[in-house]
């Protein structure tokens, strides 16, 4: 027996959902849901990472400033150590030269008076051993910032006297001190007073005096 539906097409009831298509639709819905959740999770992670990056940058700024201050302090400490090293190299010779200067004072004749005493370094005053040591030091090419003042090896004595023999007596007494060489470098007579102005260079043995 045949059934005839005389209703128009828009009023004809649709057939119920087939059971075979139900799992496919469910799977498609779940897949779309997972993709949506994954996208939301990814965007959330990107947002959190951007916040963390900003926090790290904010924390890194004080650290960079601190590192710059530490670098400056290290440089100042290095300069201070070099200054102390240079000062020590000057103080030790000064302490060792003091006894010799007192002995020079004791050698001055009555009619001789000194106007200036200079302790300095002269290349010509180096002995052969000192020249070898100096050449070896220069060969090492010590950096400029680590260089220290050269050790004094010469005493320049300037003074005046009324007579030339008194200068000779002073030279003879200087030769009795621990000098390797004593040279009368210059003698001039002043026109106004007739006094003799002299310059004596004395070279201590081994470039300096060691107590």
- 187 beta partners: 198
Q: Which residues contact 199 (CB under 8 A, 6 or more apart)?
A: 156, 157, 158, 184, 185, 186, 187
Residue 165 structure tokens:
């023999």
Spell out the per-residue pLDDT of the chain, length 211, in tens: 566 666 666 666 666 556 666 677 778 888 888 888 888 888 888 888 888 888 888 877 788 888 888 888 888 888 888 877 766 665 555 556 778 888 888 888 988 989 998 888 887 654 444 545 555 555 454 444 445 556 778 889 999 998 899 999 999 999 998 888 899 999 998 888 888 999 999 988 754 443 3
Give the span between the Cα atoms of 47 and 51, in whole angstroms.
6
pLDDT of 211 reads 36
Is there a contact between 202 and 175 (Cβ–Cβ < 8 Å)?
A: no
pLDDT of 128 reads 45
Is there a contact between 200 and 174 (Cβ–Cβ < 8 Å)?
A: yes
pLDDT of 90 reads 59
The CATH class, in words, for 107-138+150-211 is alpha beta
pLDDT of 197 reads 93
pLDDT of 70 reads 87
């Amino acid at each position: 027996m045949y059934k005839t539906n005389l209703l128009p097409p828009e009023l004809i009831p649709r057939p119920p959902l087939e059971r075979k298509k139900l799992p496919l639709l469910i799977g498609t819905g779940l897949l779309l849901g997972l993709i949506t959740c994954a996208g939301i999770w990814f965007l959330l992670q990107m947002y959190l990472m951007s916040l963390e990056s900003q926090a790290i940058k904010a924390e890194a700024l004080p650290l960079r400033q601190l590192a710059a201050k530490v670098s400056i302090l290290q440089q100042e400490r290095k300069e201070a150590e070099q200054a102390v090293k240079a000062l020590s190299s000057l103080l030790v010779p000064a302490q060792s030269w003091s006894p010799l200067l007192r002995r020079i004072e004791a050698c001055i004749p009555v009619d001789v008076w000194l106007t200036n005493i200079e302790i300095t370094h002269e290349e010509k005053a180096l002995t052969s051993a000192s020249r070898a040591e100096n050449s070896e030091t220069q060969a090492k090419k010590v950096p400029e910032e680590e260089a220290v003042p050269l050790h004094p090896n010469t005493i320049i004595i300037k003074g005046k006297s009324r007579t030339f023999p008194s200068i000779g007596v002073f030279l003879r007494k200087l030769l009795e001190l621990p000098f390797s060489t004593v040279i009368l470098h210059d003698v001039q007579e002043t026109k106004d007073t007739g006094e003799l102005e002299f310059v004596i260079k004395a070279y201590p043995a081994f470039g300096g005096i060691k107590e």
